[in-house]
């Protein structure tokens, strides 16, 4: 499925001499010729690329820049005109990181760059930064993994150590391909649209030398997709919600009590860029190559590392600048692939909590019709490694994740007398309404055993607040929809007694939620009946 072309390290390092610098942008602007568009005139006024950039480009240059932006999702026109060895702002903690020293005796590192349809200048800049900013005695190899790019001229760029898939296999498979080709003590699996900072490798290798079972990540600074400026990001944990979408999150309270922003922080997961001892990563199963296209593989790795004997850390003194693409190259809508991969993770690793993924994606618990592939080998891997249960992971690694273990029912809440549904109504706003049932986002309801009824969605984390259906009391005849904590502070009634096919009565006021003349009301109970779409547990 791929061919493998290898260069010796010495030959490969000579690549830095071949990656010639382009003219600085200011020189280009001075020297260029051509028709300049009238000041302020934009040929693509709705393009995100030109929102803050490109005011002085000619019409031909605007067309060229827009075409490249549509193809790659970032500003290739500008990238082609920036120095390959441009200086990055040093965003490390100057009080601590810059004073740290690291052992000379460290493991060797092999860098794997994963790409699909990446611009040549961006690839060159990534390579140049790695070669120039990694000590030669530590950098053993650079491996480029091309997941079947369609731009043939990029494929034909000959000075590389390359794995090329003859069909697109997705991120997880591409990363595993790079791992298989690596020979260094430690493997760093990176996106190819990055630039490493000075001293990026030493802090990561030091942590792995201390503990071979730790998987580490640098802190990513954001490179704007339009002007390619580097924006500092502060250290944060790599987290996820129940749909397995990635997100940043604060470290534990205990971490911040140490008052040292240079210390590594424990993280529930990784964003996808990861550094690990090569053999240890192999022992625990590398990545799930049954994942398709994009998404979920990083969360799967995080759960697996923590439950099967390792740990994950974000290392603040290691910095990598990462281009934030405006759109990704795999497909316009990543939702179907994410959904499929999330269900695969749930089936293998989440035990009795696996249906929370179904809840997050609003799909049936059984017979959902989504082919997640064969998970037999991944289940055998989990058994062979004697991994801890997912309940342990929630309680000890990711207690911020709401286990949703007291949810009784979810879906559309239908009034059987009027055949209308509860709807969250205008947003922003605090007034739910009765509306024709369509069983989609604004009509998602969730009923908990505590009596809370959320309308319009449910949050994945304990630190977020859901919106509770409320009886505001007094003479109010309209129900309210408020953040649950706010409603409690204002002594609104947020708890409801409900049985499937029966009335919906507020526990505090003893009034019912009903619909009259297509209007949602709170009033004395007349016996109207309600039914929620999906029942999880009998109640």
Instruction: Check residue 170 and give left, alpha or beta (phi > 0: left; psi -120 to 50: alpha).
Output: left
- In the block, tokens 């990861």 appear at 274
pLDDT score at 390: 98
pLDDT score at 152: 58
DSSP letter, residue 534: E
Radius of gyration for the alpha carbons in the chain, expressed in angstroms and rounded? 27
Phi, psi of 522 (to 5 degrees): -110, 125
Higher per-residue pLDDT: 84 or 154: 84
pLDDT score at 150: 84
Strands 407-415 and 420-423: antiparallel
pLDDT score at 160: 57
Whether 147 shows a pLDDT value over 70: the answer reads yes
Whether 31 shows a pLDDT value over 90: the answer reads no
Across the range 272-286, mean pLDDT stands at 96
Domains and CATH numbers, the chain: 407-535 (2.80.10.50)
Condensed to tens digits (0 to 9), the pLDDT of residues 345-361 reads 999 999 999 999 999 99
pLDDT score at 310: 98
Question: What mean pLDDT is reported for the chain?
Answer: 90
Assign 3-state DSSP to the chain and report helix, strand, coil percentages, each to 5: 30, 25, 45
Higher per-residue pLDDT: 157 or 539: 539
DSSP per position, 374-393: --HHHHHHHHHTTPPPHHHH
Return the percentage of the chain with pLDDT > 90, whole number: 81
CA angle 474, 415, 405 (to 5 degrees): 85
Condensed to tens digits (0 to 9), the pLDDT of residues 372-387 reads 999 999 999 999 999 9
Cα-based distances in Å from 3 to 71, 181, 184, 219: 26, 11, 20, 33
C-alpha 362/C-alpha 339 separation (Å) is: 10
Return the percentage of the chain with pLDDT > 70, whole number: 91
C-alpha 87/C-alpha 189 separation (Å) is: 23
The pLDDT-based confidence of 514 (bands split at 50, 70, 90) is very high
Condensed to tens digits (0 to 9), the pLDDT of residues 237-263 reads 999 999 999 999 999 999 999 999 999
Give the H or E element holding residue 456: none
Whether 219 shows a pLDDT value over 70: the answer reads yes
pLDDT score at 39: 53
The pLDDT-based confidence of 8 (bands split at 50, 70, 90) is very low
pLDDT score at 3: 32
Whether 342 shows a pLDDT value over 70: the answer reads yes
pLDDT score at 40: 58
Whether 486 shows a pLDDT value over 80: the answer reads yes
Condensed to tens digits (0 to 9), the pLDDT of residues 90-122 reads 999 998 999 999 999 999 999 999 999 999 999
C-alpha 290/C-alpha 376 separation (Å) is: 11
End-to-end CA distance of the chain: 53
pLDDT score at 410: 93
Across the range 524-537, mean pLDDT stands at 94
Which range scores top for mean pLDDT: 9-13, 200-204, 437-441, 471-475? Answer: 200-204
Please enumerate in sequence order all residues whose Cβ is within 8 A of that of 28, keeping only pairs 6 or more positions apart, or say none: 81
CA torsion angle 373 377 382 386 (round to 10): 160
Condensed to tens digits (0 to 9), the pLDDT of residues 436-447 reads 999 989 999 999
pLDDT score at 168: 84
C-alpha 273/C-alpha 345 separation (Å) is: 19
CA torsion angle 368 370 371 374 (round to 10): -60
Across the range 331-344, mean pLDDT stands at 88
The region of weakest confidence among 179-183, 278-282, 364-368, 428-432 is 364-368
C-alpha 108/C-alpha 134 separation (Å) is: 11
pLDDT score at 363: 86
């Amino acid at each position: 499925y791929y061919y493998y072309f290898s260069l010796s390290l010495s030959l490969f390092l000579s690549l830095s001499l071949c990656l010639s610098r382009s003219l600085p942008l200011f020189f280009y602007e001075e020297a260029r010729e051509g028709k300049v568009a009238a000041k302020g005139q934009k040929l693509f006024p709705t393009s995100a690329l030109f929102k803050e950039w490109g005011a002085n480009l000619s019409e031909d240059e605007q067309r060229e820049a827009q075409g490249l932006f549509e193809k790659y999702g970032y500003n290739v026109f500008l990238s082609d005109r920036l120095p390959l060895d441009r200086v990055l702002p040093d965003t490390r903690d100057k009080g601590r990181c810059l004073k740290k020293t690291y052992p000379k005796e460290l493991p060797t590192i092999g860098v794997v760059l994963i790409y699909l349809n990446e611009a040549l200048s961006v690839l060159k800049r990534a390579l140049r930064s790695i070669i120039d900013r990694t000590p030669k005695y530590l950098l053993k190899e650079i491996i480029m993994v091309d997941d079947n790019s369609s731009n043939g001229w990029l494929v034909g760029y000959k000075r590389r150590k390359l794995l090329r898939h003859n069909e697109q296999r997705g991120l997880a498979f591409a990363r595993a391909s790079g791992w298989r080709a690596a020979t260094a003590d430690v493997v760093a699996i990176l996106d190819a649209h990055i630039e490493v900072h000075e001293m990026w490798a030493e802090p990561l290798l030091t942590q792995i030398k201390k503990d071979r079972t730790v998987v580490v990540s640098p802190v990513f600074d954001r490179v704007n997709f339009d002007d390619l400026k580097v924006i500092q990001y502060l250290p944060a944990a790599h987290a996820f919600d129940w749909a397995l979408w990635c997100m940043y999150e604060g470290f534990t309270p205990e971490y911040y009590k140490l008052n040292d922003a240079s210390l590594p922080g424990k993280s529930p997961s990784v964003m996808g860029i990861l550094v690990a001892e090569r053999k240890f990563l192999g022992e625990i199963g590398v990545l799930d190559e049954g994942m398709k296209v994009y998404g979920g593989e990083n969360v799967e790795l995080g759960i697996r590392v923590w439950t099967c004997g390792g740990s994950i850390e974000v290392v603040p003194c290691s910095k990598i600048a990462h281009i934030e693409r405006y759109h990704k190259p795999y497909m316009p809508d990543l939702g179907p692939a994410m959904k499929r991969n999330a269900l695969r993770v749930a089936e293998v690793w989440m035990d009795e909590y696996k249906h929370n993924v179904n809840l997050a994606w609003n799909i049936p618990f059984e017979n959902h019709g989504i082919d997640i592939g064969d998970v037999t080998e991944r289940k055998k891997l989990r058994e062979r490694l004697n991994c801890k249960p997912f309940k342990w992971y929630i309680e000890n690694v990711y207690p911020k994740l709401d286990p949703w273990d007291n949810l009784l029912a979810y879906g559309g809440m239908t009034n059987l007398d009027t055949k209308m549904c509860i709807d969250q109504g205008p947003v922003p706003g605090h007034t739910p309404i009765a509306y024709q049932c369509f069983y989609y986002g604004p009509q998602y309801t969730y009923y908990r055993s505590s009596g809370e009824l959320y309308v319009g969605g449910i949050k994945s984390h304990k630190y977020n607040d859901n919106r509770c259906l409320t009886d505001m009391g007094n003479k109010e005849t309209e129900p309210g929809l408020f953040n649950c904590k706010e409603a409690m502070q204002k002594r609104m009634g947020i708890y409801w007694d409900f049985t499937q096919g029966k009335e919906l009565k507020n526990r505090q006021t003893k009034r019912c939620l009903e619909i009259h003349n297509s209007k949602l009301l709170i009033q004395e109970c007349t016996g109207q009946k309600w039914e929620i779409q999906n029942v999880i547990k009998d109640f």
